[in-house]
Amino acid sequence: MNMKSKLSTGVLTLAASLALFGSNAALAQTGEARVYNSNISLAEVEAAQKAWGEALVKISDDYQSGGLAKAKATASAVLDGAYGYKLGPVLFKPTLTVEPQTFRTTKEGALSYFVGGDANFPKDSGFALKGWKKVEVSNAAVHINGDVANTMGKVSMTDKNGKVTTVDKTWTFKKDDSGVIRIVLHHSSLPYTAN
């Protein structure tokens, strides 16, 4: 293969690779070179957290307006869009799970936690079906390192009766190859209270 053919092949391979990054990726023109930046920004992290809260409210609303089937379809779409189950196991420890099913590393386990109705997870009652109307995130700290961001703080959820439930929450977000922010770790627990 001559030098011109090698150069053409290399340019085509690079162009195909750049096309995979999608519209969410940060591409910048610098002189003659196009640069892909997969770093996560604080704004992207906060947008992903806000979207998670809005999705929880949407699942609750869909349950109220269309029953379990509608809520389950919405929850499944949320898991596909927000979580990284296609990247591998997600390290998900929901607030209200017990042994032997405390951890939900598969989409099926997470879906059951959010909407219940799965005989394989008989203790799940559907956390997202509890009439949530508002979610607020308050980060204690955010640590960003390249295409990965970790957050830790409080999430307060208000139900249809105005009751507020606050949980301690840790998330890890990873920007995937298409530039989409995915949750790859989600740990939630009720705050500790001394006797």
**Where does the pLDDT of residue 193 fall: very low under 50, low under 70, confident under 90, or very high at 90 and above?**
confident
Determine the 3-state secondary structure of 71 from DSSP.
helix
Which has the minimum average pLDDT: 29-43, 137-151, 160-174? 29-43
Write out the two tokens for 22: 């999608």
pLDDT at 24: 43
DSSP 86-110: TTS--EEE-TT--TTS----SHHHH
pLDDT at 25: 45
C-alpha 110 chain-centroid distance: 11
The rounded distance, in Å, linking the Cα atoms of 118 and 173 is 27
pLDDT at 23: 37
Segment 103-123 mean pLDDT: 95
Determine the 3-state secondary structure of 78 from DSSP.
helix
**Where does the pLDDT of residue 19 fall: very low under 50, low under 70, confident under 90, or very high at 90 and above?**
very low
Which has the minimum average pLDDT: 6-10, 75-79, 87-91, 127-131? 6-10
**Where does the pLDDT of residue 30 fall: very low under 50, low under 70, confident under 90, or very high at 90 and above?**
low
**Whether pLDDT at 7 is above 50:** no
Element containing residue 25 per DSSP (H, E): none
The per-residue pLDDT for range 77-94, each reduced to its tens digit, is 999 999 999 999 999 999
**Where does the pLDDT of residue 194 fall: very low under 50, low under 70, confident under 90, or very high at 90 and above?**
confident
Q: pTM to 2 decimals? A: 0.80
The rounded distance, in Å, linking the Cα atoms of 29 and 37 is 11
**Where does the pLDDT of residue 158 fall: very low under 50, low under 70, confident under 90, or very high at 90 and above?**
very high
